Amino acid sequence: MLALIILFLTALVTLFVGFAKKPLLTLSLSVLGLLGTAAALICQWYHPSDFLSSYEGVNMDGFAILFSLVAIIFTILIIFSGFEQFKSRLDHTADYIGLLIFSLFGAIVMVSFQDMFMFFLGLEILSIPIYVMAGARKDDPLSSESSLKYFITGAFATGILLFGIAWLYGATGTFKIYEIQQFFMEAEQISSLAYVGLLFILSAFLFKIGAAPFHFWSPDVYDGAPAPVTGFMAAVVKLGAFGAFIKLFTIAFSELYDFWMPALTFLAILTMFVGNLSAIRQVRFKRLLAYSSIAHVGYSLITMVVLTNNSALNLWYYLFSYGFATIALITVQMIVNDREDRIEAFKGLGRANPFVGFVAVVALLALAGVPPLMGFFGKFLIFADAISQNPALIAVALLNSGIGIFYYLRTVIVILQKPGVDNEIEQSEFKTTPLQLIVLGICVLAMLFGGGLLMVH
Amino acid sequence: MLRSANFVGLLYLNLMSDVQDYIPIVLQSLVVLAFVVGTLVFAPKLGPKLSSAKKDANWECGIEADGNARFPISVRYFVIAILFVLFDVEVIFFYPYAVNFQALQLEGLMAVLIFVGFFLTGFIYVLKKGALEWEK
Amino acid sequence: MSVEQLLPLVLLLPLIGGFINGVFGNKLPKVVVGSLATLLVAGSFFIALSIFFQLDQAVEVKLFSIISLPDLTLNAKLLADNLSIWMTLIITGIGSLIHLFSMGYMSHDPGYRKFFTYLNLFIFSMLILVLGSNYFMLFFGWEGVGICSYLLIGFHYADEQKGFLNGIAARKAFIMNRVGDLGLLIGLFLLLMQFGTLEYSEIAAVVTAEDFVNPTWMMFGITMCLFIGATGKSAQIPLFTWLPDAMAGPTPVSALIHAATMVTAGIFLTVRSNYLFELAPDTQKVMLYIGLATSLVAAFIAMRQNDIKKVLAYSTVSQLGLLFVALGLGAYTAAMFHVTTHAFFKALLFLGSGSVIHAMSDEQDIRKMGGLKKYIPVTHWTFLIGTLAITGFPLLSGFYSKDEILGYAFAESIPLYLILMFSVLLTAIYMFRMYFLVFHGEFRGSDHQKHHLHESPANMTVPLIILAILSVFGGVLNLPGLFLHDQAHYMTHLYEHNVAGMNLIHMEHLPSNTIMVLMAVAVISCLAVLAISYQVYVKKKSLPKEDAQLTGWEKVSANKLYFDEIYTALFVKPIEWLSEKGYRFFEIVFLNGIVFGVAKGFETAGEVVKKWESGRVNWYVLWMVSGIVGLIIYYLVKF
C-alpha cells in the first residue's frame, strides 16, 4: 500500500510541478518518486508487513512486487526516452508524465488486486490515461484516430468485462478471488452463469493484451499513438494486463482450467499466426512492432495454457525481456524520427550511428529469440516448460518463431545497409539525447546479460 | 444434467426454482408493452387529423429552422460540462455519507476528507490549468 | 604445482599464442610474433615434461561441462596418462622445433603472422585431441586439426602460379578427411549407443570387467568406424591420396602436420581404443591388411617420384601403413615407439628438405639438384642421418623401432614378414635414391639457383641438429630386451602403468636367436641397398629419366598407380553426374519449389491477414463480438 500511496502522490506532485514549466525539475521529481515507489516495494519484499493491513483489496505479495518493479523500471525508461518529445510541448510536459504515472498506478493495482472490484478499478486507471495519451499529439489526425479507436473498443471491452464480473458475481456471490476459488472448489454444480462470466472476462483480457481476434485495435493504436505511449502500451500495459490475467486465472479460475484451457490454446495459436503473418508485409515500423507484439502475446499465452508452478515467473521473465527489446526499438524509432515511420528510413543507421544501430540489431535479434540474448532465454523457458505437456503447441510456436525471424532479420538488414542513394527517402539525422543513450545502454545491457537473471531464480 | 440443454433453455432451467417470483414482472412487462403499442397504434386512429407543413416540421417551437444542426461548438462547452458532471458526482456521494454520518464516526470523516481533498486538488489543478477561463 | 593445475596450462599456452598473434599480430614486429609462438609451444613442452616426471597415475581434470542431459553428459575433461603425455611431448617438442625452423623459413613470407597463428592453433587442436579424456574431445581436436591443416595446406592460396592448385590440394585434404570424420562420428554414435558414455575410462571399465559379454557385431562396427576415421587422418588406403597433395603447404607444415603429428592421430586413436580393438579381431585383420597394402603401394609409388617432398610424403604413407600393420598385430607399444622415432626422423627429413628447397630458391624437383653436400653441409649431414634412420641403418632409432614391428610380423606369419621386409627394402631404395640424387653428383640446376645456394640460418639448422641427435639416439627409449635386460621395453612398462587396457595385452617375445637372425637380415639388406644405390647413383651417375621416357613399372609408379585417375572415374565422375542431375531435378524443381513455395505461401497469407486490418473501428468491434460469440459457442459445444 505504501508504494501505491507514494506513487499516487508522485503523480499528483508531477502534475502540479508542471505549472513551474521546468521540464527537468518535473522529470527529476517524477523519477525520484518512481524510485521511491520501487524502494518501498523492495522494503515490502524483505519485510512483508503493511501499515494498512486491514485493507483487503490489494495485497503486495511477491508476485505483485516482481511485476510492479518491472513496470516501474519500464516506466522510467519510457519517460527518459520520450522526454525529448514531452519537452517540446512545455505546458503539457508534466501532464504526459503524470498520466503515464497514473497509468502505472493502475498497472500496479492490477497485479496486486485481491478482489474483482479493485481489479476493475485498476484496469480503468490503467486504461483511461492511455486513451488520453494516445491522442496526445492533438494536431495529428492519426493520433486522434488512434485515441478514439482505442477508446471505443476499450469501452466496449470494459463493458464486456463488467458484464462478466456481474455474471460471475451472480454465480458465486463474491468479488474476492480467493473466495471465488473456494466456491469453485466446493461447488457441486457450477452454474452456467459462471462459465459465461468467465468467458466475458477472458474476452476483456484478450482485448487488453491484444490477442486475436480482439487485437484489431492494437496496430492502429500503436501506429497512431506517440512513440513513448506505444512503448508504454507494449511494455507496461501488457505487463499489467498479463499480470492480472495470470493471477485471476490461476487463482479464481484454477478449478475451471479444463474448461478454458482448450479455448486459450486455440486463441494462442491464432494469435501467433495472425501476429507473425501480418507482420511479414508491414512497411511501417510501429505497425511491425504492433504485430510483433501480438505474436509475442501468443507466445506468452503458452504459459497460461500449460500452467505449471513456473508459469508466473516464466511469464514475468518473458515480459521483462520483451519490454526491454521493445523500449529499445521504440527509442531507436524516436531517434530515427521518420515522419511516416517507414522501416526504410532505418537504412544506414548502423553506419551513421553504430551504437544505436547495434542496440537496434540486438533488440531485433532479442525479439527473434536469438541466443544468448535475453529474449532467447525467455522463449526457451516458456517452451521448455510446455514441451512435455503440449508438444504440438510448441511445434506451432517454433514454426511461428521461424516466420518471425524473417521480418526481424529483414529489418536488421535494412539497418545494416549502406545509406541509400535514392532521393526518395531523405536521410534522417539520427539525433540522440543523453537520456535516450542511457535508455539504450540499459536496454542493451539487459538484453545481453539478462540471461544471468536465470541464475538467481 | 445441464450439459445437454441449449443455452436459452439452460438459463431457464437454472432459474426455474424461483421462476414464480418473476411472474409479476413478466406480467408487468406485458402490460407496459401492451400499453405502449396500444397507445401508438390506436391514438392516431381514434382522433381527428389535421396536417400542415408547419405542423409536420420535426422541430416546431415558433422559430424557423435554419442552418445545419451539425456545426462545431467550442470545446470549452464540453470541458465545462464534463467538469460539472465530475463535481456533481462528488456531491452525490455526500448524500449517503450524510445519512450515515453518525454511524461512520471519525474514520468515515477522515475518508470523506481525503476524498474531498482529492477533489479539491483536482479543482485547483483545473483552475490553474485555466480550464474554466472562458477567454484566453 | 600439481598435475591438475599444470595440465590446462599445456593446452592454454598455444591457444594464448594463437589468440595474441591472430588478434594483435599485425601490430607486433615479426620477431615478437615468431618467438612468442615458439616460446609458448616450448613452454607447453616443458610443462608437459614436468607432468611426465610427476605422473604416477592417470589424472583427470574437468574443465567444464558441455552438455548435461539425463542420458548424455559431455564434459570438457582432460586426461593425463602416459600415453597422452607422451604424445604431448612429441607434439610440443617437435612442434616447438618446427616453430623455430619456421621463423627462418617463413621470414620472407607476407603471411608470417597468419602462419604462426595457424601453427599455434594447430598445436592447440592437436593437444585437445590427445589430452581429452573422452571421444568427444578427441573428435573436437580431430576436427580442429582438420581445419588447421586445411588452412595451412592452402596457405599460399593467393600464389600467382600455384595458388589455385594449393587451394585444390587443401580442399582435397579436407574432403577426404571428412569422409574419415564421418566414419569416426558414426563410431562415436555407436559407442554412445552401446555404452552410453564417451569417456575412455568408463568405457574401459565396462569392457574390461570380467562379466562383460562381447557384442561381436557391435564391436566390429564400432572399431571399423573408428578405423575408417583413422584411415582418413592417417592416410591409409583408400583415403591416402590427400597426403602427397598436401605437400602444397609450406614445408614446415608438411613436417609438423603431415609427418610428425597430425597423421599419427589415427594411430593414437587406435592405441587409445586398444581394449575395443582387442575385442574385434576381424577389424584387426582388416587393419593389418590395409596397413600392409598401403605400405607397399606407397613405397612403390615413391620409387619414381621426382619431387623431394612427394617422395617424403609417400614414405610417410608407407611408414603409416607399417604402423597399422603393427596395430593390426596388437603391438601397440611397438607402434607408439615407431611413431616416436618416425616423428624424429621424418620431421628431420622434412625440415631438411625445407632447408634444401630454401637453398634452391624454392625448387623441389630432385632432377634439378645434385651435389649439394658441399654447399649446405649441415643440411647434408642431418639429412643423411635422417635417411639412414628411416632406412633402418644399424643402431639408429629407426632400426630398433622398425625391427620391433618386423619381429612381431615374423611371429605372426612368415609371408607377412617377407612382404613387410620387401616394403622396408623399397623404402631404403627410394630414400637412398633421393639422397644421392640430391646431395651427390653434379649440380643440375640453373646458374641463377647455383648462385643463390646458401646454408640456412641458425634458427633453421639448430632444429635440424637437435632432430638429428634425437634420430640417432631415439631408439634408446624402448630398447628391445636383447640389449638391456632390466630397462628393456621401457615404453611397454610405461603404458602398462596407467593407460586403460594396455596392461591386458601382452605380446609374446620371440626367442633371442630368432631376433638376432632377423636383425642380421635387416642390417644386411639395408647395407646392401646402400651399396647398390651408391653404385648406381654415384659411380654410374645414373639420372632419373624424363617423364615421357618412362615405361613399364616406372611409368605406373611415377603416375602414382593411377590412384587419382581411378578415384576420379569411380567416385568423382558419378558424384558429379549425380549432383548435376540432382541439381537439375531435386534442387531446382523440388527444393526450390518447397522453399520458395513455403515462403510464398507465408507471404500470401500475410497479405491476406494484413487485409483484415481494415482501419474501421466498427469492424473491429464486430470482430470482438464474433470472438465472444465464438467463445460462447465453444462453451455450448463443450457442455
Domain ranges of chain A: 256-457
Which pLDDT belongs to residue C541?
76
Same domain (yes/no): C324, C371: yes
User: What tens digit of pLDDT does each residue of A220-249 get?
Assistant: 999 999 999 999 999 999 999 999 999 999
Q: Which grid coordinates are listed for C292?
A: 600392409
pLDDT in tens, chain B (136 residues): 344 444 444 444 454 556 677 788 889 999 999 999 999 998 888 887 777 777 777 666 667 767 777 878 888 888 889 889 988 988 898 888 889 888 888 888 998 999 999 889 999 998 888 888 877 6
Q: Give the residue-averaged pLDDT of C43-54.
A: 90
Q: Give the residue-averaged pLDDT of C584-605.
A: 81
| Residue C599 domain boundaries | 580-638
Rounded to the nearest angstrom, the minimum Cα separation between B105 and chain A is 18
User: What tens digit of pLDDT does each residue of C458-476 get?
Assistant: 888 888 899 899 888 888 7
- For residue C486, pLDDT beyond 60: no
Higher pLDDT, C562 or C429: C429
Other beta carbons within 10 Å of A326: 28
C365, part of any domain: yes
Same domain (yes/no): C387, C522: yes
Q: Give the residue-averaged pLDDT of C615-626.
A: 88
Q: How many domains does chain C have?
A: 2
Q: Is the pTM of this model over 0.95?
A: no
Same domain (yes/no): C450, C511: yes
**Contact call for residues C501 and C278 (beta carbons, < 8 A):** yes
Low-confidence ranges of chain A (pLDDT < 50): none
Same domain (yes/no): C510, C631: no
User: What tens digit of pLDDT does each residue of C528-548 get?
Assistant: 888 888 888 888 777 777 777
> Are the beta carbons of C639 and B6 separated by less than 8 Å?
no
How many helices (H) and strands (E) chain C has is answered by: 27, 2
Give the dihedral sign, CA C48/C51/C52/C57. Answer: negative
C523, part of any domain: yes
Residue type at position C43: G
Same domain (yes/no): C524, C585: no
Higher pLDDT, A52 or C212: C212
CA atoms within 13 Å, Cβ hemisphere of A138: 4
Q: Which of A 131-160 lie inside 8 A of C, CB atoms?
A: 148-149, 152-153, 156-157, 160
Distance, CA of C303 to CA of C554 (rounded, Å): 8
Q: Give the residue-averaged pLDDT of C473-495.
A: 69
C49, part of any domain: no
Neighbours of chain B (3+ CB pairs under 8 A): A, C
- For residue C526, pLDDT beyond 70: yes
Nearest CA in chain A to C598: A403
Q: Which residues in chain B have Cβ-Cβ distances shorter than 8 Å to C632? A: 7
- The phi and psi torsions of A449 (rounded to 5 degrees) equal -115, 5
- For residue C176, pLDDT beyond 70: yes
Window from A79-83, C4-8, C568-572 with minimum mean pLDDT: C568-572
Which pLDDT belongs to residue B2?
42
- For residue C494, pLDDT beyond 90: no
CA atoms within 13 Å, Cβ hemisphere of C248: 29
> Are the beta carbons of B125 and A16 separated by less than 8 Å?
yes
Query: Which of C487, C517, C541 finishes a domain?
Result: C541
The H or E element spanning position B21 is none
Same domain (yes/no): C506, C379: yes
Residue type at position C572: V
> Are the beta carbons of B121 and A192 separated by less than 8 Å?
no
**Contact call for residues A44 and A65 (beta carbons, < 8 A):** yes
Which pLDDT belongs to residue A100?
94
Residues of C with CB under 8 A from a CB of A: 602-603, 605-610, 612-613, 615, 617, 619-621, 623-624, 626-628, 630-632, 634-635, 638-639
Same domain (yes/no): C533, C586: no
C129, part of any domain: no
Higher pLDDT, A457 or C56: C56
Same domain (yes/no): C494, C609: no
**Contact call for residues C332 and C502 (beta carbons, < 8 A):** yes
- For residue C479, pLDDT beyond 80: no
b/e map A118-149, b = 16+ CB within 10 Å: bbbbbbbbbbbbbbbbbbbbeeeeebbbbbbb
> Are the beta carbons of B7 and C639 separated by less than 8 Å?
no
- For residue C485, pLDDT beyond 60: no
Q: Give the residue-averaged pLDDT of C172-180.
A: 87
Distance, CA of C158 to CA of C165 (rounded, Å): 10
Residue type at position A267: L
**Contact call for residues C297 and C422 (beta carbons, < 8 A):** no
User: What tens digit of pLDDT does each residue of C502-515 get?
Assistant: 776 666 667 777 87
Q: Give the residue-averaged pLDDT of C329-356.
A: 89
Which pLDDT belongs to residue A272?
93
Which pLDDT belongs to residue B18?
62
- Is any Cβ of chain B less than 8 angstroms from the Cβ of A15? yes
> Are the beta carbons of A203 and C617 separated by less than 8 Å?
no
Q: Which residues in chain B have Cβ-Cβ distances shorter than 8 Å to C636? A: 6-7
**Contact call for residues A75 and A14 (beta carbons, < 8 A):** no
Same domain (yes/no): C527, C629: no
Distance, CA of A48 to CA of A112 (rounded, Å): 14
Higher pLDDT, C8 or A425: C8
User: What are the beta bridge partners of residue C80?
Assistant: C59
Same domain (yes/no): C291, C372: yes
Q: Give the residue-averaged pLDDT of C108-132.
A: 89
In 3-state terms, what secondary structure has residue A408? helix
Residue with the three cell numbers 463443450: C638
C607, part of any domain: yes
**Contact call for residues C19 and C118 (beta carbons, < 8 A):** no
**Contact call for residues C495 and C83 (beta carbons, < 8 A):** yes
Q: Which residues in chain A have Cβ-Cβ distances shorter than 8 Å to B117? A: none
Q: What is the value of ipTM here, to two decimals?
A: 0.89
Give the dihedral sign, CA C92/C94/C100/C103. Answer: negative
- Is any Cβ of chain C less than 8 angstroms from the Cβ of B8? no
Same domain (yes/no): C509, C620: no
Which pLDDT belongs to residue A27?
93
Which pLDDT belongs to residue C508?
67
Distance, CA of C279 to CA of A414 (rounded, Å): 60
Higher pLDDT, C480 or C185: C185
Same domain (yes/no): C479, C584: no
- The phi and psi torsions of C68 (rounded to 5 degrees) equal -135, 100
Q: Which grid coordinates are listed for C352?
A: 631438411
